[in-house]
Structure 1
Amino acid sequence: MPRLDPFFTEWSARRPGQHRSLKRAAALVHELGLDRHKVPVLGVVGSKGKGTTATYAAAALTASGTGTVLVTGPSFRSYRERVRRDGTSVTEQELAGLASELEEARRSLPPVSEFDGYLAPSGMFLIAGLLHARNTGAQVCVLEAGMGGHRDELRLIGPQVVAMGKVFGEHLGVLGDTVPEIAREKALVAGVHTQALVSLPQTSEVEDAVGDALAEATGDVVRAETVEPDTEGVWPPPDLRPPGLSAASGVLGVAAADRMLGLMGRQSAPEDRLIRVLGGVRLPARLSRHAVPGHTGEIIVDSAINGEGVAAALAHARGLWGGVDHVLLCLPDHKDVAGAEQALAGIPVTAVRLPEAHLRFDHALPSQWSRIDADAVTPGSIAALGDRVLALGTVYFTGRVLDAVEAVTDTLFSPS
């Protein structure tokens, strides 16, 4: 495993009440010369589905012959997955090289005490993506925001195109006290470089909030453009979209990529090539299906975090298998535990606790549910639950499950 100190050093040493510093991140970008080597950026924000949107955008760009660096997060099995070129993760040697370049530049900066905060890990990976694009001669970057907002490094980098997924009450009390406030904050990743914002349909209140934020951020130049997944003829067709609730995110990604190609003066991919590339997209932990090593059973893994997502995943599994033997569920208290409980009524469930100190698992659960720690999730323990197991919950958990079943996560799609 390559040294990852520069990604996490300042975050690990942060003081209580200290926040990420865009000023320090800007200084790092300047030290690396990335402000002089401007690669067009497609930024992705939203409450859910950002990774799917970013992946489909990168796939559509790559299919057009445009060399594409994709940055997503969090990772599942390796930090190498955070940075990809044309659908494939960087190698350990490439990540180590990026880490060394970042560390050398970081050490050249004045001390953290002279800034208003620290370099955040998610921002460091975004900067690593820009660095990898320069090192490999990529023509465009697709960058997934963290929570998004005017404090996100994506705003500092300055996306030419913003893709906005559906906005709902995720991060209430953090990014805003209402859904429109959250939407406004997420839209503020736009700035003077932004030429387009492509959005899934939103409520009228969210549309108004996004419009106001765009007017403020772009000098009233950019208007939101809505892509309607249910409109006849919208690409990709249903058989090339991801399953379940992720389908709309796939449509958004392709639409945003097409908008970016137009701004770059490049042609969209020929239809046959686009069909081949999109048809080969594989999304780990988004209703992904895997064999259980050493056993005859299967497991479907999905990063559902609310009742609607849990119900959709359950319906998908039943459609494939005809039934579900058991569900592994890992939802910290700040997720929609009550909604998941309602969706899983009558299904055998084992609730899983994670060891991360910042996650709480104190929500009262049904007495008939079993409870285990995440370290107990192994191929053997999964197989003991039945031949048709559904694993649902936060990415911290689904990454562990993918690791347990040795899922392939390095390649999301092939360029041809």
Structure 2
Amino acid sequence: MRCDGYGRPARRTGAEHVHDPPLATSPGLDWLLGFSDAARGVGWNARSNPSLEWNLRRTRVLLDLLGAPDRRLAIVLVAGTKGKGSTAALLASLLAASGVRAGLYTKPHLQSYRERIRVDGEVISTADLESAIVGVRPQVRAMRRLIPAAGEPTTFELTTALALGHFAASACTVAVVEVGLGGRFDATNATDPHVSVITPISHDHMRELGSTLRLIASEKAGVLRPGRIAIVALQDTAAAAVLSKAAKSVAAVLREISPLSAEAATRYGLALRGAYQRQNAAVAIAASRALAEHGVPFRERAIARGLRQLRWPGRFELVPSRPPIVLDGAHNDGSALALAAAIHAELDGRRVRLVIGMMKDKDARAVVRGLAPIALAVYATRPDSPRAADPNEIARLFHHVPVRAFDDLASALGAAGADARTGETLCITGSLALVGQARNLLGLPVAARLWD
């Protein structure tokens, strides 16, 4: 019997209750995931040529061997550190509300690999994913023959190519594509975006992108294109200066976008919780208007519907259980501060019982600094991943608050639920992988559709 994390039977939610089997159980998905590094993720493959420029070259060759499906789509490339996925999802929802058929490619997934690829908000079917994988396999063999120096592609490069192929085959007008890591050398940057988007930049992936906001911003600026519009969220002064200079150097049209006011967000009925989502919504609206300059039929009167209809799991997702649970994948300094502010505002200043698990390549100290002030008690645990950080090491970073460490999420969640008193809230955070596990434990379905 499946349980909800407290030993109670998991609740079912009707026809949309979709539970995928564990990953790598189908021949196609087994093959696709075989091009990744278990310790580092889907963006790495030990058999790939490690030079960064090959990320772009391999992806471009794969796309061209597939018939260049991206050339038949208006591409919006979404880079940044905070809010990339939310902004991409909001943009896709706004387009759908205007009657525009859009593909949405995001990462990571929460419960099913299929969540990464959606058309009109609907997750790709198992059959369509398997078919897309079958379609790309001959192109991998062809690439090996044509450019053996490239080595093997990565799972992320392959998924990028087959996602864009699926969008073109599904008669999409637009593809909203979330950058994987950085921008300049990311596989998604092998496309030619009509509109580039950069959400707020903060510290993350510093081993790959650099330790300062200036260095990180310079990598994100790689998604800008000559003569094309760049929609940029409000940034730290250092990051803003880098982006402004980069836009001028490539003759991109930079538009800096302020957040929606609280009054405007209320008037539109913005469904996503947290004040930081007002910035993401404003950027998504601006990107929709920029697409209209390329002939995409965006309707201003559809804004309210687009912002109101979106459901985006794992981003300040409030689960109405007993006790209530907040699920949020905050995993860097900026997102931790945003989550703390959202909890303070949404829960009237009350502190939470914090269940936290992180990956070892993240800056746990920075995340703890952001979240410690809102913690009533801490239950440190680990995501189910070889990249997981030791929960005991995370526990040692908290001071002046009760802390316990657990080897698995089910135990941590069970302890937090047992300790919770009436009126208290749990918050599960630190990694989207942990949030995905939590959704499974709580009996929550894969989000088959992001809107009705």
Same fold (TM over 0.5): yes
**CA shift for structure 1 position 133:** 1.2
Range 183-192 or range 162-171, more displaced: 183-192
CA distance in 2, matches of 1:157, 1:6: 24
**CA shift for structure 1 position 359:** 3.6
Change (3 A) 1:7 1:329: same
Normalising by structure 2, we get a TM-score of: 0.80
1:311-390 alignment, distance < 5 Å: 311-316=340-345, 318-319=347-348, 323=350, 326-333=353-360, 334-337=362-365, 339-340=367-368, 343-345=371-373, 347-361=376-390, 362-363=393-394, 364-366=396-398, 368-377=402-411, 383-386=417-420, 388-390=425-427
Change (3 A) 1:337 1:136: same
CA distance in 2, matches of 1:159, 1:21: 17
Change (3 A) 1:338 1:65: closer
CA contact (8 A) 2:104 2:177 kept: yes
**CA shift for structure 1 position 129:** 2.0
**CA shift for structure 1 position 80:** 0.7
Other-structure match for 1:18: 50
Change (3 A) 1:310 1:175: same
CA distance in 1, matches of 2:55, 2:146: 9
Change (3 A) 1:372 1:344: same
Range 195-204 or range 69-78, more displaced: 195-204
CA contact (8 A) 2:98 2:297 kept: yes
**CA shift for structure 1 position 236:** 8.2
CA contact (8 A) 2:104 2:175 kept: yes
Other-structure match for 1:254: 285
**CA shift for structure 1 position 18:** 2.8
CA contact (8 A) 1:242 1:250 kept: no
**CA shift for structure 1 position 211:** 2.8
User: Aligned letter for 2:441?
Assistant: A
Deviating runs (4+, > 4 A) in structure 1? 230-238, 322-325, 377-382
Other-structure match for 2:3: none
Other-structure match for 1:168: 202
CA contact (8 A) 1:290 1:407 kept: no
CA contact (8 A) 1:155 1:190 kept: no
Other-structure match for 1:223: 253
Percent identical pairs in the alignment equals 22
**CA shift for structure 1 position 15:** 4.5
Change (3 A) 1:207 1:369: same
Normalising by structure 1, we get a TM-score of: 0.87
Q: What is the aligned counterpart of 1:267 among 273, 289, 297? A: 297
**CA shift for structure 1 position 234:** 6.5
What are structure 2's unaligned runs of at least 5 residues?
1-24, 38-44
CA contact (8 A) 2:429 2:435 kept: yes
Other-structure match for 2:330: 304
CA distance in 1, matches of 2:316, 2:216: 27
What are structure 1's unaligned runs of at least 5 residues?
none
Other-structure match for 1:8: 33
Deviations 1:326-360 (A, max 9, x none): 22112345324355256435611101123423343
Deviations 1:305-329 (A, max 9, x none): 234134224314523xx84562211
CA contact (8 A) 2:368 2:398 kept: no
User: Aligned letter for 1:162?
Assistant: S
CA contact (8 A) 1:88 1:411 kept: yes
CA distance in 1, matches of 2:160, 2:87: 16
What is the alpha-carbon root mean square deviation over aligned residues?
Answer: 2.9
Secondary structure of the structure 1 residue equivalent to 2:35:
helix
Other-structure match for 2:431: 394
Change (3 A) 1:258 1:98: same
Deviations 1:194-213 (A, max 9, x none): 61100111234322311332
**CA shift for structure 1 position 52:** 0.4
Change (3 A) 1:86 1:11: same
Change (3 A) 1:83 1:56: same
